[in-house]
Chains A and B, each alone.
Chain A
Amino acid sequence: DTAVSQTPKYLVTQMGNDKSIKCEQNLGHDTMYWYKQDSKKFLKIMFSYNNKELIINETVPNRFSPKSPDKAHLNLHINSLELGDSAVYFCASSPSTGGKSPNYGYTFGSGTRLTVV
């Protein structure tokens, strides 16, 4: 069973289109995230949800809209795609903070490689 699954794995689309990336986790985690990894491998947080509530909303164009129907799902919708949106998008999840855990990191999905042409 995949802990954090993202679909699709690859997405090639034309400029101006609207697309969505889906993410689901079966770990029972309360918090989910979207990260963008650019061509230089730099990872930058975009959004975070805790129990369906938006808690982190970094400076991201409003063409990007996250949606969390329940705490196991966090989808990313992108309107009017631009060439600069080409990147790998990672979904991740983690337990809520509070208390120590030896494995208190994120669990990442396998990433979605988005190519805008």
Chain B
Amino acid sequence: AQKITQTQPGMFVQEKEAVTLDCTYDTSDQSYGLFWYKQPSSGEMIFLIYQGSYDEQNATEGRYSLNFQKARKSANLVISASQLGDSAMYFCAMREGWGSGGYQKVTFGTGTKLQVIP
């Protein structure tokens, strides 16, 4: 079974509008972390936002917010007021294996390509 599922291979959004990128996950761990990364066409991986499994509030970072629904095992990324520079691949990821020895394994989804239209 896929650990991280991103069902939208590609999305379009009009500039200045909000967009939601979907992510569902599968884990039996009680402690885990969820991340979103952005990969623009230049290729670098940029950390956007983090949500811990025990965090009660949804994470927010500027125009990014993570809509965390634990019972549904979903961690959707919401980008408000889209900008042309938001055009990129977006990856959802999950960290499991939270241990004392520095062990952690992060699994990535297949990504969603977002294109912002002027």
Interface residues of A (CB under 8 A from B): 30-31, 33, 35, 40-45, 48, 50-51, 55-56, 88, 90, 92, 94, 96-98, 100, 102-108, 110-111, 113
- Evaluate contact between B47 and A103: CB separation under 8 angstroms: yes
Interface residues of B (CB under 8 A from A): 33, 35, 37, 39, 43-47, 50, 52, 54-55, 89, 91, 93, 95, 97-108, 110-111
Nearest opposing residue in chain B for A111, CB measure:
B43
A113 to B104, CA, bound (A): 25
Least CB distance from A60 to B in Å reads 14
- Evaluate contact between B101 and A111: CB separation under 8 angstroms: no
A69 to B43, CA, bound (A): 27
- Evaluate contact between A43 and B91: CB separation under 8 angstroms: yes
A26 to B53, CA, bound (A): 29
Taking a contact as CB atoms closer than 8 A, the residue among A42, A92, A98, A105 that contacts B50 in the complex is A105
- Evaluate contact between A106 and B43: CB separation under 8 angstroms: no
Least CB distance from B39 to A in Å reads 8
Take A31-B102, A88-B43, A97-B102 as given contacts and tell me if A41 and B111 are in contact as well, using a CB distance cutoff of 8 Å: yes
Least CB distance from A40 to B in Å reads 8
A45 to B108, CA, bound (A): 9
Known interface pairs A56-B105, A102-B50; 15 further A-B residue pairs with C-beta atoms within 8 A, sorted by A's residue number = A30-B102, A33-B106, A40-B110, A41-B39, A42-B108, A42-B111, A44-B108, A50-B102, A50-B103, A88-B43, A97-B99, A97-B103, A98-B98, A105-B35, A106-B47
Least CB distance from A45 to B in Å reads 7
Take A97-B98, A104-B33, A110-B43 as given contacts and tell me if A45 and B106 are in contact as well, using a CB distance cutoff of 8 Å: yes
- Evaluate contact between A108 and B44: CB separation under 8 angstroms: yes
The 3 closest A-B pairs by CB, nearest first: A50-B102, A96-B102, A108-B45
Taking a contact as CB atoms closer than 8 A, the residue among A48, A100, A108 that contacts B105 in the complex is A48
A63 to B104, CA, bound (A): 24
Chain B residues, Cβ within 8 Å of A40: 110
Chain B residues, Cβ within 8 Å of A33: 106
Chain B residues, Cβ within 8 Å of A106: 35, 45, 47, 106
Take A97-B103, A97-B104, A111-B43 as given contacts and tell me if A103 and B50 are in contact as well, using a CB distance cutoff of 8 Å: yes
